[in-house]
Structure 1
């Protein structure tokens, strides 16, 4: 398997995990605050990744790199998730997923504007088809559900979450080329945990922890495991291919969410899920078909 194939496989794994984690998050979102959920998932994620750090390489970090890596971690792992968690409190999960599906389009536009990628109409068409697929898959819960009084806040939060993910996906590149993926994962997630701890305290985590039942703790553990695996594979993929090639796989998230929901919470699969999945698959094939995309713009190695 080529390095590019491994990167795309890692991106697909990460996308499936995001969908699964989103369903698990939705199951406790009405009982636990968004900052608390985000803090617990990455705190557990860091604990799971730390033992692996002793077995791998750990390069000396330039002093000037600490701040941007920490900021990327705070935005990617903290602010993005808080915004997404906030959105699914005020709007249906399906609508949040649909809005978040604009992530690859936003990523490509930003990467092209900054000169990291070359513009190709074929990739744009592929990305748009994946978004159409997502809209079909989640349409029954995204389009037809009436928005509540704070629905527009949820929509805005979901879009800002996607925009944050796009910005981070592009700006991670120099640091992922300079340091090992596991090192960046741990550094970024640790920064986000420290940031989220303050938000979680404000949200009342110290008082609420004793009131969480076993089902909530199991959800925390499951989401934490998903975070550790999902974001390591995400950063690995970003290391070895263009950001838009990675983020386009986010179209798989509602597919995994539908399958996971059908298996574990008796949520029936619909014809919309199947048709939407086909559109997502077609969009992915169109977007990633030509391997020459990787050579359309030289990726500069950062010393």
Structure 2
């Protein structure tokens, strides 16, 4: 219980940084390309984590564990991001964010089916409130256009992106018990960097890289730093509390994106943002609230 409080705090930081990085990425995506940005941000993140990881007691990882960890890193970063980026080609960004917000619900469902979590109506209500809160925050853009035939392709991609994140969040568990969090963070992120490298080259990274301005590089450094801190916090949370308790904090990402956008790119805040914030915070409180155990009565000693 003592470690669960900092784990939930770390999960909150991770959820906030997801939204902040989303806004920062959107500001340079036309100059760099989504796959190139993903490759560079995770390369920076892995390089930032590596010195700290090497200072910890590094445990030898056998091939039977290394391959699953590499796959988790590839799906957590590369596949998840590519599916999400693919989805916004066919549907509005707000709708993609709303679908992705079902990740905590998917996590809880899969964890219950696998017997790793117990079902509680309280947590279901809390997660549902966070999803409704995200719906309010992105409602203006989520349903601004009719969904055509290709729209269902985008919806499917956004759903598979959320499903990928849910599955990875659950299956990290055994490895977080065997190896230090920093070690897993670095190995998984490096695996995704290797996977993304070839894709970034085909996207044209080698031709666009020399034309990056100082502004683009500063934003990439910031996103890389946010990725390193956010992913470490994510895994730290997963190592000390239930996966659904960690993923529910993703509801903070559209809220932090709205606040960050208002501060740095003059994006106006709306009453929907305020309503969404209240609902998300309420959902977090309901989902994570626990009754305190009643104090035990002292035994009555017989008279001496």
TM-score (norm 1): 0.91
Deviations 1:32-63 (A, max 9, x none): 33221111110010111111123222112123
Deviates more, 1:255-264 or 1:83-92: 83-92
Measured after TM superposition, the shift of residue 205 of structure 1 is 1.1
In 2, Cα distance between equivalents of 1:59 and 1:197: 27
Unaligned runs of 5+ in 1: 293-303
Distance 1:290 1:170, change over 3 A: same
SS of residue in 2 equivalent to 1:105: helix
In 2, Cα distance between equivalents of 1:165 and 1:88: 17
In 1, Cα distance between equivalents of 2:41 and 2:258: 21
Q: Does 1:272 align with 2:278?
A: no
Measured after TM superposition, the shift of residue 95 of structure 1 is 2.1
In the alignment, what sits opposite 1:301? none
In the alignment, what sits opposite 1:165? 165
In the alignment, what sits opposite 2:69? 69
Q: Are the equivalent residues in 2 in contact too, given 1:35–1:199 (CA < 8 A)?
A: yes
In 2, Cα distance between equivalents of 1:148 and 1:41: 33
Measured after TM superposition, the shift of residue 174 of structure 1 is 0.3
In the alignment, what sits opposite 2:196? 196
In the alignment, what sits opposite 1:38? 38
In the alignment, what sits opposite 1:220? 220
In 2, Cα distance between equivalents of 1:178 and 1:8: 21
Deviates more, 1:218-227 or 1:250-259: 218-227
Unaligned runs of 5+ in 2: 293-304
Give RMSD over aligned pairs: 1.8
In the alignment, what sits opposite 1:261? 261
Measured after TM superposition, the shift of residue 290 of structure 1 is 1.5
In 1, Cα distance between equivalents of 2:84 and 2:29: 11
In the alignment, what sits opposite 2:301? none
Q: Are the equivalent residues in 1 in contact too, given 2:32–2:209 (CA < 8 A)?
A: no
The residue correspondences of 1:74-93 to structure 2 (distance < 5 A) are 74-93=74-93
In 1, Cα distance between equivalents of 2:57 and 2:219: 32
In 1, Cα distance between equivalents of 2:156 and 2:23: 20
In 2, Cα distance between equivalents of 1:72 and 1:27: 28
In the alignment, what sits opposite 1:180? 180
In 1, Cα distance between equivalents of 2:236 and 2:176: 8
Distance 1:82 1:203, change over 3 A: same
In 2, Cα distance between equivalents of 1:244 and 1:72: 17
In the alignment, what sits opposite 1:7? 7
Distance 1:260 1:225, change over 3 A: same
Deviates more, 1:213-222 or 1:39-48: 213-222
Distance 1:291 1:77, change over 3 A: farther
Aligned length: 292
Measured after TM superposition, the shift of residue 69 of structure 1 is 0.4
In the alignment, what sits opposite 2:208? 208
Distance 1:27 1:207, change over 3 A: same
Distance 1:232 1:48, change over 3 A: same
Deviations 1:151-191 (A, max 9, x none): 44433322111110000001000001110000000000000
Structure showing greater radius of gyration is 2
Q: Are the equivalent residues in 2 in contact too, given 1:26–1:93 (CA < 8 A)?
A: no
Q: Are the equivalent residues in 1 in contact too, given 2:258–2:269 (CA < 8 A)?
A: yes
In 2, Cα distance between equivalents of 1:145 and 1:235: 37
In 2, Cα distance between equivalents of 1:215 and 1:86: 26
In the alignment, what sits opposite 1:244? 244
In 2, Cα distance between equivalents of 1:264 and 1:240: 34
In 2, Cα distance between equivalents of 1:95 and 1:255: 15
SS of residue in 2 equivalent to 1:30: helix
Q: Are the equivalent residues in 1 in contact too, given 2:32–2:205 (CA < 8 A)?
A: no
SS of residue in 1 equivalent to 2:29: coil
